Structure formats: C-alpha cells, structure tokens
Chain A
Amino acid sequence: MSTNLKIGYNERLVKLINYIKILPKPLNSRQFFLAAVGIAVLLRVALMPFFGHVDLYSEARRVFYALENGYYFDHSYRFVVFYIEMFFAAISTLFIDVTPGLFHIADPTQSTSNLVDYGFFLNDPNIYRHLFFFKLPYLLFDLATAAVIWNFIDKPEHKKIALLIWLFNPVTLFATYVFGRFEVISLFFLALTALQLKYDRVFLASLFFAMALQCREINLMFAPFFLIALIDFKDHYLRNLVLVSASALLIALLYYLPDWLIGLSGGELGLFVDPNATHGSDAFNKLLSLGYYWFYPIVIGLSALAIYQWEIGQRSRAERFVVCASVALFIYFGFNVHSVHYAAWIVLFPIMTIQFGKKVVLPFIAFSGIWIILWLLKTDSGVFTLFLAAPLSTDFIGMGHFPSYFQQNFASDKLSLYQTIQIVRSLFLVVMGFFAYRILRRSSNEY
C-alpha cells in the first residue's frame, strides 16, 4: 500500500485547513481549538433565540411547573436531564418572567403543549429571551462534549477533524439549537463513559453510563456492548465475571434507586405520565420506537454485532465500546428513521472512532446530505417547515409545507412523494451501511 494512502485523507484535510492562506501561519492545537470553539459558540448563540419546536416549550413548561409547585421528587422520567434542566431553569428565573398564563399546566398528565398554548408562547413579546434560556444547558453540555472528544482523541490531526465534525455537523446543530431537544446532555454522559473506558476507569464509566440511561431510554441499546467491552480477555474469567456483574449491578441500582427512593418518600412518580396511555404489551414499541416488523432485523443485527465485539476482544475497551455503539446505531437507524432530531444520536460515537484511525469524514458528509433530503420530504408541519421558525415566520423557507410543494412541483404519476420517500429511506440505509463499513474495516493503524 502506498505511503500516500497510509497518511489518509484525514491528515491531508487537516493540512489543508492549517494552510488556508488567510492565516499567516499554521495554527497550533490550542489556537485551533479556541478558533473552532469560538466560531461554534457564536454560531450557536446566533441560532438559539430564534427557533424552537413545540417539544422545547412543552419540556420547559414541565420544568417550570415542577419548580413552581415544589414537586422536585415527583418525577422519575429521565431524571438526570430533568434535574439539570431544573437547575438551569431556577437560574433563568432571574432573567425571565415565568408568566403563569404562559407556563400554567392545568393537568400535568397532559403536559405536552397543544397548538393553542404554543400559539400564546409564539406571540409572547419575550419569546426570544425564553428560547435562549431554555437552550442554555444544551449549549454548555454541547461544548463540554466537544471538550471530552478533544481529550478522548490523542493525535493532533485527528483531534481537529473530530472537533470540526462535532461542532459543525448540521444534525447536532439542528437537533439542539433549531429543534431544541436535550440529546446533547445524554451524549455528553456517553462521551464521558467512553473517556473513562479509555483510561480503564470501570467504576466511573459505569456511573456515567447509568446517568446516560437516565437521560434517554434508547441508551439501553448500548448496555450489552458496554458490559462486553468491560471484559479484559487477558484477565482471569472469574475476575471478569466479578467486574462485569459489579458494573451491571451498579447500573441497575442507579437506574432503579431514584424511583425506589422517591416512591419510598411518598413522591408521585407519574407526575407527567398520561394514565390513559397504552403501555404493557406494546412495551418494546415504546422502548425502542420500533414496529415488530423492524424489530427482528435489528435484534439479529445487534446479536451479530455482540459476537463481533467478542471476537475483537484483543482491542481496547474504549475502542470496542465506541465501534460497537456506532454500528449498533447504524443498524437501528438503517431500519427505523424515527424522528428528525433523533439522528443526533448517530453523531457522537463515529466521531470517537477517529481515535482508532477510522475514516468517517465522507460518510458524515453523505449522512448529513441524505438526512436533510429525507426530512425535507418526510417532514410534518413541525419539522423543517412551518413551526420551527414560527417565532420569525410560519413560512421561513418560503415554500410552505415542503412535501406539499414537492407534490405540486416535482411529483408525477411515476414518482410520487411516497415513492420518493421510500427511495431516500433506502439511500439512508445505504449510507448507514457505508458508515458501518468504514468503521468495521481495518483502520490504517492496523495495517
């Protein structure tokens, strides 16, 4: 293999960035970090006040409701995220007027805002202030995740690539600062888990993984890969058994302990839970948002992945975890596109695989492109078109509801909107496959 190929395009890209003519001399690592983060912060702060999905308002209402009424221990749902948001909300009350008419919830079990209440919010003269403060915790956790990624990756040129992808990929920017969801908090704890694994700090890794589980239920999907990653194949099996069991016990305890303690102290755990919602037999559907039809290929894929992870036992804990967590996400999203902002889950782990020489820049570009096309076509009123920029205009892109625009201007008898969506979904699966290939193939380090 030629030397040129061994250097890889990651390195060439960094060289290119470093030698951009507007800069008098190449940036050192510190300068690069500051410049990238500085621009990223300005970009984020510029987006924060002007966009938001109705879910962001609903979440803020719940937080302020719990805060105003002192129901601090009456809510077990994603409690890590909730307490972080509550902490920031408490601070933000110094700067925003929590108008009862705007944040009042008549029935907490129906806490998701309807469009009437959202309409009041949109017309509030302080809406930009509200949106800015609602997203403030996300900004801090987003930047903290960038710092974790920077510390996770060793080689300077790899650090830079990883940082740029994290800070400027459109999926994270959209999910966090346009749609306005808290995915980055969950991703921060997952990144921290990987960082602890890198230094073989199993206890801390288990602790942070348990915290990530309390941010998003989907993280349960990573649990088998986390536990398998803890196994040290050079060590005695009894020692491994104790280690994995202790870790699993810690995670389970941290997962159930808050519920148990809150229940024991007389708290009402289901404060925001709709008692009429269907659970039980549909639990898998609720947990992973999967129809059973899609469930089987994912289970088969994840099982195969677990076998693969066992087979690569000679690699480091951190590598096994981030590689398999990445591929688990590709399998999941290959068969289930879910909601637009959930694609933010895909971003973190592939970035971390750069530490292990994986070439992910091209797959990231393909992923970003196909994600935008898919959600322009598959969007409902609340996604790319009408409501996200509603504080500014209900028709921000000037095309109304884009799927309707597509129907009127592009669709034909031979290619309907539905068919186009199916084609793009298939392409999305192809991109996930491309991503998986780039991460599973032997990296340049291994040649």
Chain B
Amino acid sequence: MSTNQLSITRIGVCIRACLSPAFSRQLSLVIALLASSHLVVANAQVELLNTHDLVEKGTNNYQVAGNDPYWVFKPKASELPAQFLKLNITTSKGNRPAELFFKQRGNVFDPWYRLSFNAPGNGDVAIRIPDTVQIEVGQTLRLDINRCGSCDIKFSTASLSQTSDGAAEVEITRLFNGIQAVDDSGKLITLDDWQLNDVAGLLSGFTITNNDPYLVSPDLNVGTQNLAAVYFKVSVPKNANVNNDYQLFYATEKHAFIEPATSLIRLENDSAPYVELLFPLDFLSREIPADSLLQKVRLDLPLIEGKWSLDEAKLLSFAQLEHYQNSAPRQLVQYKRQRSSGLALIKKSLMNVFSDLGFVFSYLLLLIAIAFGFIRAFKK
C-alpha cells in the first residue's frame, strides 16, 4: 500500500468515526493512529508534531526503539508570561539526562540552542526558563531523553506557566544559547567561579595541597572561529626546578576534558615572580572536522610549594596572537598536531618552514650551491 493510499484510508477512518455515535470513545484511537504517522496531534496537554526512535505503546506511552529518541512538540500555555516550562515525564529507568532544543532552522534544531537537565523520571518537572532564552506559546521544541536504552517513557504534558505549581524544579546543567565568537580584542575569562582541585585558597592566593593541582574555568561556550589561543598570567613561587610543565585541557562540544585534548608548555625556570602562558588553540577551528565551541579550559600546575595566584586569563583572537607571541618569553609548546592534506598541508608546511627564515635562506643557498657545483664538475 502506498503512502497516499494509507493516508486516504486513515482519513476515511476519521470520517466514519466522527459520524459514529461512539465518536468520543473512538477519539483516542484516532489520535493514536495519527500520531504514529507523524501528523499533527492535539492531545489534552501537548501538541505533538513528531517522534523519533520511539514506538507508541498506548496514550502518551512510548518505548525507546533507537539511539536518538525525541519528541517534537509545541507547549501549551496555562499562564502567561511564562517563567517555567512544565513537563510530565516518567521513565521506567528513573532519573535520565535530558535535553531541550529551543531553536529550529528549517527542519533542523540548532545544537547551539539547547539546555540540558536531569529528568527525575517520575512525573512533573519544572524548568525555570533562563532570562536570555525565549520560549513562547506555540513555539516548536524538541525533547531528547538520553541513555535510556529501550526503556518505557510516558510523556504527557508540556505547558508554560508563571509558577512551578509544586512540580520539582530541575537544575539546568548546561545551557547553549548560540555561539559567541571571540572578537578581535579578545575575551577576558572571569576569575570568579573557577573550580580548584588539590589546592587551598582562592585564585588570588592559593597553595598546592596534593598531587593533582588544577584550575577549571567557568563555562566559556565561545565559538572557535576567531579563537587563536588562551593566555594565562600566573604568579609562581620560587623553586629550584630546571623546567616547569604547565598543561592545558580543553573541552569542546565533542568531548569533555580528555588526555588527547591537551597542550603542554615547558618553561625554563628563570626565577621570575610570574609566568605568562600562551596555549595555541587555533587548530580547533582549522581541523577537519572542526571543533566549533570551546566550553571550558583547565590549567594543570607543576608541583611547587608556596603561594600561587592566577592573575589573568584571556581568550585571544588571531589579531592579538602575534603581539602576545612577541611580548611573552619564548616557550616550548606541545600541542595536538593538525591533520591536513593537499593545499592545506602545503600551506601549513610553508608557514612552518618560514618560521625559521635564517635556515630557509641558507638551505636554499646550499641546494643551489650543490647543483651548480656538480654541474660545473660534470662539464669539465
């Protein structure tokens, strides 16, 4: 049976049901049939537009049948202006991570406009809508429930209201509200809200207390298209080490802090009271495929006793990079090598080669001298 024939049959079913005296009893059956064909559904509490990787097992009851289960829907409004989005979600596995996508471009939901939360999985939850986010009546949203295997989920209401009305208010664990690029003058990273590990004190003055000291920035969530580097100015206690290694971890939309996504700076100990660290991150936007969003950075410190402080942290643009490279002391940097091929490889190789002009000049001269020397000897 073709799709058109199927639709005509279903419309016929609807007409017959409407004419039937048992119209009201049949209504829920009709809605269920239509929902399974991804047409607009108007149930009492949520206007459901689409589902993905879900099999409807009964009214508002679904079973996960794939890796990417979600509902596309329009919330109802009970009271306006709305401060909360209330959802009724129950999963057979209880608490599950969930994401709400709130901006659509064509038929696709933009991943840079979404909020994450943990759905308690046992009924009503209320999400406080952040001031910077706009969710309106009739706006199309997408709800994803993650890591639920093939569990059963009941999703029955989605409405906007002024209060939480006794529903459990859930914490938004991550908010993407569009990507903000680093502008040419760079972007200061606030020194508030950093997480400190194995150190005692504040960023303005701390000591290392154990073997894994590091500082984690607050959420940055900046686009990488104009991001060239991250810069730190750190006051360091006096020490007798020959070299000190500083390590940067960077989390992007693809990964959290992981060992392969790190850079290292090795500084010779020159007894200066502070160090300037310039970690290149230009490869994030240049790599194929690129990382588009820098979420957080983490600075791991060498084990040195005494008083430390983080004095400045800044994201640098490409326009600023050269200035900072010239002003900061020379440092050995180890960072992820770029995978490139074709023209990009040639361009990058030439850039690397021309970073040592003295050598390049002598090298070319040597090649020419060898060629001429042999040609002259050959002709004799």
Contacts and interface: CB of A to CB of B under 8 A. Distances in A.
B332 A99 contact: yes
Contact of B332 (A49, A101, A129, A394): A101
B374 A37 contact: yes
Contact of B334 (A37, A41, A123, A126): A123
B369 to A, nearest CB: 10
Interface of A: 31, 34-35, 37-38, 41-42, 45-46, 49-50, 99-102, 104, 106, 116, 119-120, 122-129, 132, 390-396, 398, 400
A388 B363 CA distance: 21
Nearest to B268: A101
B366 A116 contact: no
A35 B332 CA distance: 42
B174 interface: no
Contacts of A35: 374, 378
The A contact surface, by secondary structure, is helix
Interface in B336-380: 337-342, 345, 348-349, 352-353, 355-356, 359-360, 363, 366-367, 370-371, 373-375, 377-378
A99 B331 CA distance: 10
B266 A101 contact: yes
A385 to B, nearest CB: 11
Contacts of A395: 339-341
Contacts of A396: 341, 345
Contacts of B335: 119, 123
Interface in B233-280: 242-243, 245, 264, 266-268
Given A42-B367, A45-B366, A45-B370, A125 B334 contact: no
A267 to B, nearest CB: 24
B267 A101 contact: yes
Interface size bucket, B side?
35 or more
Contacts of A391: 352
A126 B359 contact: yes
Contacts of B371: 38, 42
A267 B266 CA distance: 32
Nearest to B242: A104
Contacts of B377: 34, 38
Given A101-B267, A132-B359, A116 B334 contact: yes
Given A396-B341, A398-B341, 6 more contacts: A122-B334, A125-B355, A126-B356, A128-B356, A393-B337, A393-B345
Nearest to A124: B332
A35 B379 CA distance: 10
Contacts, number: 99
Given A49-B363, A100-B268, A101-B266, A394 B337 contact: yes
Contacts of B31: none
B333 interface: yes
16 contacts: A41-B374, A46-B367, A49-B363, A101-B243, A119-B334, A119-B335, A120-B332, A122-B334, A125-B352, A128-B360, A132-B359, A390-B337, A392-B349, A393-B341, A394-B337, A394-B338
A14 B157 CA distance: 88
Contacts of B375: 38
A38 B370 contact: yes
A314 B366 CA distance: 49
A125 B371 CA distance: 27
A31 B374 CA distance: 10
Nearest to A44: B370
A52 B339 CA distance: 17
Among A128, A132, A400, which residue has the most Cβ atoms of chain B within 10 A? A128
A391 B243 CA distance: 23
Contacts of A392: 345, 348-349, 352
A99 B334 CA distance: 15
B337 to A, nearest CB: 4
A98 to B, nearest CB: 13
Interface string B279-316: 00000000000000000000000000000000000000
B378 A31 contact: yes
B242 A34 contact: no
Contact of A34 (B338, B353, B378): B378
The list of the 4 closest CB pairs from A to B, nearest first, reads A38-B374, A119-B334, A394-B337, A398-B341
B243 A100 contact: yes
B140 to A, nearest CB: 39
A280 to B, nearest CB: 34
A13 to B, nearest CB: 21
B207 to A, nearest CB: 25
